[in-house]
Chains A and B, each alone.
Chain A
Amino acid sequence: MTAKKLGILFSGGKDSTFAAWKAKKEGYEISCLISILSKNPDSYMFHTPDIIQTRKQAIAMNLPIIEQKTEGKKEDELKDLEKSLIEAKKKYKIKGIVTGAVESAYQSIRIRKLCYELELECFNPLWLENQRSLLEKLVKHKFKVIIVGVAAYPLGKEWLGREINKETIEELKQLQEKFGINPSGEGGEFETLVLNCPLFKKPLKIKNKKISGKGNAWRMEVELE
């Protein structure tokens, strides 16, 4: 039986990458990555820090990528997502998409509606997964993930560039207990970037970085090689 061809709604962060890996592990064929490049840093739908680096991650995975630009205005983002899904369906004959949604009903509802209209399966293999266990699985399966954006007290500049490892998970666990920080960053508390994982043919390295922000909202734009 031929494996079902899927497109990955890909942000370059830990959740979409881990979801892609799960799909591959279950025997599906990843036909392409789909990245939405939002001009709005506070996008309701899409992860934005370092999204342009998805191109380098696609090369590392030896996969084609569809890059769709959007102004990032609330519901208009969906029209741009629709364009990219239509393109993926036409060009790569995908039968469904995979997302890294864990808890966000807002995101999930909109993507599911769109997929249904386009007759595409919508797979969310991390849906309702325990946040802490998700981080532990990343470490277990050798995902090298760094934090590239923070947006919640008491997270600050010092968190940028930190790798998700046992120590980081322990610290996030304490912050969850004390301040209610979601340990997986699902509420936008922090954003991540994957530098290596079992899907990559070779690891990526940070060539240049630029840090900006203030207070508890910081981001690190990186150039990968």
Chain B
Amino acid sequence: MILIVSVCKNRLHYYEFVRPIINICQKEGFNTLYKRYLDVDNEDLERCEKAIICGTGLLDYKILKNPEKFEWIKDFNKPILGICAGMQIISEVFGCKIVEGLGIGLRTLDFKQGFLGVKGKQEVYSMHSMKVLVNDEFEKSCILGKEDKQTVHCIKKKDKQIFGVLFHPEVRNKDMIRNFLKNKFS
């Protein structure tokens, strides 16, 4: 069972940011448990083998001010994938700073070291209004821009199977989600 966590403030955003992820999971034969982030409880966390924290609308994250609702991430001890706002939340839980950083569009990233089973150049679909200043608890990859303008597009927690992508893999990189589901992490 895959726990699918929604951080959408607006119900209508569910169709855009959550349902496509559920569809990919189900198409791969995985059962899903959909929960709004405020409703995730211990029973859900015990039942599920993995969690995916989905993205949300560009104006949504500014109002998401409940990081304490994600403290469970620290103790989950099972694979987690954070997509866009999901990556920002994971980073914040582990002490990273979230700053403004707009990125809307298609761009090419080079997954030189491999990330969630994908290696080499790939086009990705970005849609974020914030970015992460990543600390040493994470391995960083696909860093674009120079010095203070840098944007980290992929992260992995050093001692855990916790991953984050700033782009939306459900649009152009579905294999990443499939690989995550099938434990193909490197």
Residues of A within 8 A of B (CB): 4, 22-23, 26-28, 96, 98, 105, 109, 112-113, 115-116, 119, 121-130
Contacts and interface: CB of A to CB of B under 8 A. Distances in A.
A31 B19 CA distance: 26
Contacts of A129: 15, 19
B57 interface: yes
Contacts of B58: 112, 115-116, 122
A116 B12 contact: no
B12 A28 contact: yes
B104 A113 contact: yes
Contacts of A22: 12, 15
A125 B58 CA distance: 15
B106 A105 contact: yes
Point out which of B11, B16, B171 has the most chain A C-beta atoms below 10 A from its C-beta: B16
A123 B16 contact: yes
A12 to B, nearest CB: 21
Interface in B1-22: 10-13, 15-16, 19-20
A156 to B, nearest CB: 33
Contacts of B102: 116
16 contacts: A22-B12, A27-B11, A96-B10, A109-B105, A113-B104, A113-B105, A115-B58, A116-B58, A116-B104, A121-B57, A121-B59, A123-B12, A123-B57, A124-B15, A128-B171, A130-B23
B20 A127 contact: yes
Nearest to A27: B11
Point out which of B19, B127, B129 has the most chain A C-beta atoms below 10 A from its C-beta: B127
B16 A105 contact: no
Given A112-B104, A123-B57, 19 more contacts: A4-B10, A26-B11, A26-B12, A27-B11, A105-B125, A109-B105, A109-B106, A113-B105, A115-B58, A116-B59, A119-B59, A121-B10, A123-B12, A123-B13, A125-B12, A125-B16, A127-B16, A128-B16, A130-B23
Contacts of B23: 128, 130
A11 B9 CA distance: 27
A51 to B, nearest CB: 25
B104 A109 contact: yes
Nearest to A4: B10
B106 to A, nearest CB: 6
Contact of A128 (B10, B12, B170): B170
Nearest to B57: A121
A126 B16 CA distance: 7
Given A109-B104, A116-B104, A98 B170 contact: no
A41 B82 CA distance: 41
Interface string B16-59: 10011001000000000000000000000000000000000111
Contacts of A123: 10, 12-13, 16, 57
Nearest to B59: A121
Point out which of B19, B104, B129, B170 has the most chain A C-beta atoms below 10 A from its C-beta: B104
